[in-house]
A and B are shown apart, each in its own frame.
Chain A
């Protein structure tokens, strides 16, 4: 199996604070890796580094064979990140949000409607403004816009947050099918039992490093 994420001694800072203080991590293609650890352990920063969003100060890292230190912009179009924020425009309707995200990555209208029905935000919800959605519905929207991205690596930060029981099942099914079609998943979740069931491997993060 190919190694898709390879980090060694990675330090990343927020302002002057070392959110990551020397992380080593290796993820193979097709894995579902669960990051666990207390709040403030550095899980979010680790996902942002893997997405090429946060620069690394020290250490070396490669994602999909691309060097994080020199060329992290090239990683971005090939991975999908679901952060704490959903990345929605609150003044746009669900449909308008999805159409916008689809047009930035050249997804077709049928892909959009498939993603919307997968996350069950089609029908009546499609014309509701994002600002009027519940937290769980916004999460579904964000996941739908992630589906149309067709990412090779899915980086998910608390994807279960706000979802109801049915939504969590649907999410798990979605991730399993993504992996079945060749993707890799790294997720951080406090839904321990559910995530352990889903994950093929668990990595504990604490004090800004992989323990």
Chain B
């Protein structure tokens, strides 16, 4: 699309840095989303008030809280674009849509990763999860790979829903079924990392494979599909 001959990589970096600077300046993630995620974790503890259960279901709760918080982060990521017509301006500037997708995805991934680290730490503290060193490494790999998948699908459907009336309800409808594989895979892998219910670390790797397939597929498809979905 772009005829100005600037490298796509430069645009990707510029967009990602711009989104992260916005977060740095406004601190929405730190001041609002993270406390929301934390309170969800506490509420889970109230709802599942039973010795032993929390420790066993902690991985699933971490990922559920991630998904719910992700919806908020994605909405925010596209509200800043549409608040003052910036996405229109990017389109008129002929900026490559695939590059915008990658830039916004990277920024979303960074934010999600921070959020997930915080949630895992919350699970360790609140739910009494204990991890071995191998388990810790596996947990980190799971977070990274799952986040790539979540970030890609999230940006893709976030962009589609951003242009629509009733976007608040459309985004979860489209997004949550699509990320079911990530929820399943990441939960199982995290269970193995936490050793929940007697699982061992080695049981987690096949699930990370599933997450990897998802991540590769959707980051590739998203780059191509984002433009047609978002453009008029």
Interface size class of B (residues with CB under 8 A): 20 to 34
Give per-residue flags for A24-47: 1 if the beta carbon is below 8 A from chain B beta carbons, else 0: 000000000000000000000000
Please provide the chain B residues from 90 to 106 with a CB less than 8 Å away from any CB of chain A in the complex: 90-95
A61 located at the interface, meaning its Cβ lies under 8 Å from any Cβ of chain B in the complex: no
Q: What 0/1 readout, one digit per residue, does chain A (93-115) give for beta carbons within 8 Å of chain B? A: 10010001101111000000000
Chain A 57-78, CB within 8 Å of chain B: the 1/0 string? Answer: 0000000000000000110111
Query: Is B80's beta carbon under 8 Å from chain A?
Result: yes
Taking the closest CB of chain B, its distance from the CB of A116, in whole angstroms, is 17
Chain A: CB-nearest residue to B231: A73
The contact string, 1 if C-beta is below 8 Å from chain A, for chain B 61-100, is 0000000000000000000100111101111111100000
Contacting pair A77 B83 (CB below 8 A): no
Is B93 touching A88 in the complex (CB atoms < 8 A)? no
- Interface readout for A165-193 with B: 1 if CB under 8 Å, 0 if not? 00000000000000000000000000000
* Size class of the A contact interface (CB-based, 8 Å): 35 or more
Chain A residues, Cβ within 8 Å of B2: 77
> Shortest Cβ distance from A80 into chain B, in angstroms?
7
Q: Does B22 contact A (CB under 8 A)?
A: yes
Enumerate chain B residues within 8 angstroms of A103, measured Cβ to Cβ.
10-11, 13-14
Q: How far is the CB of B64 from chain A (nearest CB, A)?
A: 29
Check A87/B1 contact, CB under 8 A, given A76-B92, A92-B25.
no
Q: A83 interface residue, CB < 8 Å from B?
A: yes
- What is the distance, in angstroms, from B88's C-beta to the closest C-beta of chain A? 6
User: Which among A89, A91, A96, A105 is the interface contact of B4 at CB below 8 angstroms?
Assistant: A105
B92 and A79 within 8 A (CB)? yes
B25 and A91 within 8 A (CB)? yes
> Which chain B residues lie closer than 8 Å to A89 at the CB level?
18, 22, 80, 84, 86
Nearest Cβ in chain A — how far from B168, in angstroms? Answer: 20
Are A106 and B10 touching (Cβ within 8 A)?
yes
Within the assembled complex, what's the spacing in Å between the Cα atoms of A149 and B2?
Answer: 13
Choose from A77, A86, A91, A92 the contact partner of B93 (Cβ within 8 Å): A77
Q: A73-B94, A100-B18 are in contact. Are A129 and B25 (CB under 8 A)?
A: yes
List of A residues within 8 angstroms of B95 by Cβ: 104-105
Say yes or no: is B26 at the interface (Cβ < 8 Å to chain A): yes
Q: Nearest B residue to A104 by beta-carbon distance?
A: B95
| A86 x B85 contact (CB < 8 A) | yes
B6 within 8 A of A: yes
User: In the complex, what distance in Å separates the CA atom of A79 from the CA atom of B91?
Assistant: 11
Chain B window 143-180, contacts with chain A (Cβ cutoff 8 Å), 1 for yes, 0 for no: 00000000000000000000000000000000000000
Query: In the complex the two chains form, what is the Cα distance from A105 to B83 in whole Å?
Result: 22
- B10 engages A91 (CB within 8 Å): no
CA distance A133 to B210 in the complex (A): 48
Max chain A CB contacts within 10 Å: which of B14, B15, B85, B95?
B85
B3 contacts partner chain A, Cβ-Cβ < 8 Å: yes
Residue of B nearest to A100 (CB): B18
Would you give 20 A-B contacts (Cβ < 8 Å), ordered by A? A53-B92, A77-B2, A77-B3, A77-B4, A80-B92, A84-B85, A85-B88, A87-B86, A87-B89, A88-B84, A89-B22, A89-B84, A90-B83, A91-B80, A96-B25, A101-B93, A103-B14, A104-B93, A106-B4, A149-B93
20 additional A-B pairs beyond A89-B86, A103-B11, beta carbons within 8 Å, are A53-B91, A74-B1, A76-B91, A78-B94, A81-B89, A83-B88, A85-B84, A85-B85, A87-B85, A87-B88, A87-B90, A89-B80, A90-B80, A91-B26, A104-B6, A105-B6, A106-B4, A106-B5, A106-B6, A149-B93
